[in-house]
Amino acid sequence: FKEMKQRFLSFKRNKYLRNLEHYKRLSEAQMPKFMVIACADSRVCPSRILGFEPGEAFVVRNVANLVPPHENGPSETNAALEFAVNSLEVENILVVGHSCCGGIMALMSLQDEVISSSFIKSWVLVGNPARSKTKAAASNLSFDQQCKHCEKVS
């Protein structure tokens, strides 16, 4: 935590205090042009990768960057999507995936006949249409190649 505190103090000194007017405007209202739905993977930071500054993107992260179908009922991702579109009036929505995604690996390794009550299984099953397409189109490929295929399809 000591290092984290130092990083915060460095941010405050080198970014926040040097751009006080900008951060004051941000505190009054957010008006991002982009919504980004990205994976929660700690190795992949969408704001850093895409070069967004504070206030430019409304970012939602979840396991495997999945967007559940509306008919599945409420979800945090769909609530954020509704808020971004209806309240923030974002102009662009990006769904950003990445390679070697653990969520996609979990989805692809599920056994059809296995019953599980885990939160992870329930969540990654949102990607089942992509899994089915991958199994149909790429069943001859290795597991890793199937995962790469599914990352693109999902």
Binding residues for Zn(2+), by number, are 39, 41, 98, 101
Of the residues 18, 25, 43, 70, only one is catalytic, namely 43
Of the residues 39, 61, 131, 150, only one is catalytic, namely 39
Q: Give the H/E segment covering residue 131.
A: helix 128-138
Of the residues 13, 70, 98, 131, only one is catalytic, namely 98
Residue 112 is a catalytic residue: no
Of the residues 101, 147, 149, 150, only one is catalytic, namely 101
> Within a 10 A sphere around the Cβ of 69, how many other Cβ atoms?
10
Residues 64, 121 contacting (CB under 8 angstroms): no
Residue 147 is a catalytic residue: no
Residue 101 is a catalytic residue: yes
Residue 61 is a catalytic residue: no
Specify binding-site residues.
39, 41, 98, 101
Residues in the chain: 154
Residue 45 is a catalytic residue: no
Instruction: Tell me the C-alpha distance between 77 and 61, whole Å.
Output: 8
Q: Give the H/E segment covering residue 52.
A: none
Active site residues: 39, 41, 43, 98, 101
